């Protein structure tokens, strides 16, 4: 009996060791995947400020928003991305955000790479985007440092601003569209597939277009977004979504 108990004990200890070993291997792989700068494409993400303000206000009634002077899409970020997953992220801690590096661009960034969340540290949004995404993008020719990262975002917006792209396909603020119409509009004008993301009003069930993401290869040539995480959309494809012409529920805002 004692011998059988001892054998069972050894067996259980062996299982625990194997489990621990597997968890250790998983952790190392997971950690390496999160910090690696390997990626397939770059996602250039624009957001509709009126919907972004709505999302911010939904988190707290005390929140106020900063909005651009004109109705236009603004930059969220340039995100190096592996197909079918998120990341890489936070690739190089030896490249901390430096406000001096983007000083020549600051006036443009305040208008076009705007932090909707009024009241936060004025550099917090840009710092977050650089640390999380920019440090992973520096292997791309033309995005070798912090200045280049933000300058490239401004240049991409100048060329691919969704206020112009959608208008060319007669998709205009203040109307409702099937999400497939919006994706088809982008593809018609740019010739490539995109990703459309929505925010949903928890009270009314209405959905608003929040972000449009277009994709580039490592030479910064426009490419299809097929294969990116949550492609082609998180929106409800059975219901029309709103492209709002004002902040839903007319929340108070601060113009910049």
Q: Which residues are catalytic?
A: 76, 129, 133
CA dihedral 104, 81, 94, 128 (to 10 degrees): 50
Alpha-carbon distances, residue 131 vs 84, 163, 186 (angstroms):
22, 28, 29
Alpha-carbon distances, residue 121 vs 92, 126, 131 (angstroms):
22, 10, 15
Question: Kind and range of the H or E element at 147?
Answer: helix 146-160
Q: Which residue has the tokens 């993401």?
A: 213
Is residue 251 within 8 Å of 57, Cβ to Cβ?
Answer: yes
**What is the sign, positive or negative, of the torsion defined by CA atoms of 112, 240, 213, 51?**
positive
Is residue 195 within 8 Å of 233, Cβ to Cβ?
Answer: yes
């Amino acid at each position: 009996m004692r011998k059988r108990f001892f054998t069972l004990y050894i067996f259980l200890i062996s299982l625990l060791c194997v489990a621990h070993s597997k968890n250790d291997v998983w952790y190392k792989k997971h950690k390496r995947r999160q910090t690696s700068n390997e990626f397939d494409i770059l996602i250039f993400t624009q957001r509709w400020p009126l919907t972004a303000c709505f999302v911010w206000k939904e988190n707290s009634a005390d929140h106020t928003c900063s909005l651009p002077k004109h109705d236009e899409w603004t930059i969220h970020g340039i995100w190096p991305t592996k197909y079918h997953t998120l990341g890489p992220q936070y690739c190089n801690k030896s490249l901390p955000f430096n406000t001096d590096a983007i000083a020549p661009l600051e006036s443009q960034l305040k208008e076009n790479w705007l932090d909707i969340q009024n009241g936060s540290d004025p550099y917090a949004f840009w710092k977050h985007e650089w640390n999380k995404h920019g440090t992973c993008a520096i292997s791309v020719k033309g995005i070798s440092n912090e200045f280049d990262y933000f300058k490239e975002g401004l240049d991409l917006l100048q060329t691919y601003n969704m206020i112009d792209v959608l208008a060319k396909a007669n998709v205009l603020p203040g109307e409702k569209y099937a999400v497939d119409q919006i994706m088809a509009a982008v593809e018609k004008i740019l010739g490539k597939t995109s990703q459309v993301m929505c925010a949903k009003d928890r009270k009314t069930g209405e959905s608003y277009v929040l972000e449009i993401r277009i994709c580039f290869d490592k030479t910064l040539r426009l490419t299809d977004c097929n294969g990116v995480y949550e492609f082609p959309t998180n929106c409800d494809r059975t219901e029309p979504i709103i492209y709002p012409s004002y902040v839903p529920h007319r929340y108070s805002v601060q113009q910049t």
